[in-house]
A and B are shown apart, each in its own frame.
Chain A
């Protein structure tokens, strides 16, 4: 999209807004008495249910018809052992109790007090993640097979090879080699895996009706904790020396040592929160623009209809940005992990000349 078409898009959007607001002020006078009180639309609640995990894929509800796929619930409780059943047992609205368990605020609790419940259900996020990863594995193994056959070595690469190869070489040259120096080969499988792991889940999370996997704190926490351990296992004496005994005057040491120790944990924590916040924010913005239609629709039917084109335009715009952000966040996560690993083992051998500042928000 050229800058010219963006400009004309903005002009169209703003002129529509101006027209619309003049219309709303007129419509509000009459609208109050005409529209009957309907079921109140709560955008906050609606958005939260969309970006959170669920026990079923819910697409739409039409009257009494619920278009949703129920997923298996797997529970373990020390008192009752394992129990596996479909989430449809809880009813369409999750109002029913089954087998001594019930849904409360989106999570499963026991009906009887004092019974602990460990929830290992194949939720929306889990199922979607598994589907996305299966596709990723098949895609990558297929590409690897092509390479094994010699396609892309002596001849030009074809098909998916052309799409994946630049990303792989980018991760190798600009992420791994730039930050890890000579030791980059050891970390390549890990860096490539986290990059594509995050990327494919972000991309799948953009599909309408899908789960927001990379925008779930549990997912990003796992990724961050793995990074944390990889960083720790790469560290050397020099790294710990800097943390326990930083090269600063004596007076500053009591201040700096706690800061340095905290820094060990804040680095992966920042990774966790950055990915989570970026993905959640993107989804919230998209859902907000969609919700605007219904908020205006709640005020006045005509207002809702006339606002929908603007809302759709903005949604499309944000969607395109979200695709970009999926790539950028996967890159940032991978790149920062590589930088932290590089910092953890630098000093021992001076092949790493790249001192990237890890201050990226």
Chain B
């Protein structure tokens, strides 16, 4: 029975002890500890959030990079194509030019040839004229002396002229 009867002394001391311990711990232990735990939880969640953000940013950057790369590639292809076109155009132009030049040279040559031919013909004509005159002169001189000879001579001259 003694066991079940609370004694005044212990009640009073427990009450005092509890009150003191409660106030000391509340002020100097629980407050800072709980605050620190909250702070740490916040720190951790903040860190995780930051990491998530950084990861998202990285992903964005990566996709941006990829887009840039794609664009660069496309540009390169376009440039290559353009360059090829230009090259083809230049070659064609050069070819055309060359053709034109050739034609011009040929035409010039033909003109020159014609001119020279004309000159030669003129020269020939002049010589033929001279020859005719010379022959005529000689014939005329011979005619006066001999009829037969004259005819032979003309015949001979005519043969000579044919040979020419």
Contact = CB atoms under 8 A, between A and B. Distances in A.
A222 B3 contact: no
A280 B7 CA distance: 16
A218 B7 contact: yes
Contacts of A118: 8-9
Interface string A127-171: 001100100110011011101100011100000000011001100
Interface in B1-48: 2-15, 17-18, 21-22, 24-26, 28-37, 39-40, 43
Interface in A82-126: 105-107, 118-123, 125-126
Nearest to B4: A217
Contact of B14 (A129, A140, A141, A192): A129
A188 interface: yes
Nearest to A157: B40
Nearest to B31: A189
B30 A192 contact: yes
A274 B34 CA distance: 29
A292 interface: no
Interface residues of B, number: 34
Nearest to B41: A169
Of residues B22, B29, B39, which shows the largest number of chain A Cβ atoms within 10 Å of its Cβ?
B29
A126 B6 contact: no
Given A52-B2, A193-B25, A152 B10 contact: no
A137 B22 CA distance: 9
Q: Please classify the interface of chain A as helix (H, G, I), strand (E, B), loop, or mixed, using the class held by over half of its residues.
A: helix
A192 B4 contact: no
Contacts of A196: 25
Nearest to A107: B7
A27 interface: no
Contacts of B12: 120
A216 B10 contact: yes
A11 interface: no
Contacts of B29: 137, 140-141, 143-144
Contacts of A120: 8-9, 12-13
A12 B8 CA distance: 47
Contacts of A133: 17, 21
A217 B24 contact: no
A286 interface: no
A119 B6 CA distance: 12
Contacts of B35: 147
7 contacts: A48-B2, A126-B10, A143-B29, A143-B33, A148-B32, A153-B39, A185-B34
Interface of B: 2-15, 17-18, 21-22, 24-26, 28-37, 39-40, 43
